[in-house]
Structure 1
Amino acid sequence: MTHHQASAPQFFLTAPTACPYLEGQFERKVFTHLIGTRAKDLNDLLTQGGFRRSQNIAYRPACESCRACVSTRVLVNEFKPTRNMKRVQARNADLVGVMHDAEPTTEQYALFRRYLDARHKRGGMLDMSVLDYAMMVEDTHVETKIIEYRRRGPDTFITGRGVGDLVAVSLCDRMGDGLSMVYSFFDPDLDDRSLGTFMILDHIARARSYGLPHIYLGYWVNGSRKMAYKVRFLPQEHLGPKGWERFSEEAVRQGG
């Protein structure tokens, strides 16, 4: 039997579940599969339309009574780090990130487990096994990369690689108009380094070097303290009914 790929993606709707960000709210998602030779182009198109990727699934919120989740992207060419961000960069100047194909390792998983146990004890990912983690990294039909961050060594200027234990990891998709940060985690014992902020700054620098105009940060959830950090990277655009629109600093000062 010959199988023909559908000319257009099929979309499905999930049943309502408790919202992980806003108490008392329920979330639904619309999703489709990212498979086959058209997956990369479809992922670009859907990401620009407010979808996120998880393995070979592209999804976006489709909640009935709430519109708090807003797709966010940083304008790379206009971005200038704040004084605090410059301090974060200086604090992590001894780290180097190496980008390679998305391949899971036991070292990554060990760091991933420590991160979840310390930072997300009630999260939906807490029970992920090593096989689940491998699927999160490998199950992709788009151009997915992984960046491993380690301390600089005496030969780093020659090899381009760090040495010692893994400090942080970022999984990202390279798209036609930017980098989409899929998932990041880091050593929870290094809180003073602000590694989450550092990795976003590193991705902005990488996108600029590639000539890509955007960093997609996923959803900013208005009213969720957990997601408040995303609106610190200015200027940025938010996806609304009229398309991508510039997000104002005044809105940040007023708390969104």
Structure 2
Amino acid sequence: MYGDKLELQLSGFNDKLPNLLSKLVATISTFMPSEDRFKLYIEGLCHGNFLEEEAISLSNIFKDNFSVQPLPFGMRHYDRVICLPPGANLVGDVSVKNKLERNSVLELDLDKASFKNYKDGLINKLLEKDPSHSCETNRFWNQIVDGRYMFDISQKEAEELKNIQKNDIVDWYKTYLQESSPKCRKLAIRVWGCEVNMIEAETPLKSEVSIKDVEAFKMSSTFYPRPC
């Protein structure tokens, strides 16, 4: 259980799962409010040695136990992305949680050979096979929870990454992060080491706008439309 969502994960032998799931769902349904006040939205993943009819049979267990109206699409949970205004240069400053950490800045001098090594390493990481069946299941489930449903995203990202050169990264930075660019919209979260004077660190430069109240900032922000 996290937030306003309940996540149920079961694993085991195919012949045992229907009985176990039926008992769990039946028990959960006894805690539900009356049907006229309750709506429900369920997503599921059957991953493993299942036949199609077995997976459908498992999903019907929820339908049989929760005879309520489905939750309207507009009321379902979804993540939102803030639309920063043109020319935005926002900063948020926080102190590091680990009081033994002194570093505040890490600089990397990245030559062409180092860039290629980093890129090749990332491609290999993306194309790694899942070390276990449960890892693969979690990867699929994360796509469902995020509402993306791109189960081959690692392969697609690796293919795109093969075509990216160092100049592309530099051009992207100059276009979208360099303050002199008309397309620059920047929100920086700065984590300061334990020995930094936070009063001085939180003093913004003339071109910066400091975020002091995160909740107020979100309430006053514009968000991109919900993706389909």
Greater strand share, structure number: 1
Output the TM-score relative to the length of structure 2: 0.22
Select the structure of larger CA radius of gyration: 2
Instruction: Choose between structure 1 and 2: higher helix proportion.
Output: 2
Higher relative contact order structure (alpha carbons within 8 Å, sequence separation ≥ 6): 2
- Give the TM-score, by structure 1 length: 0.20
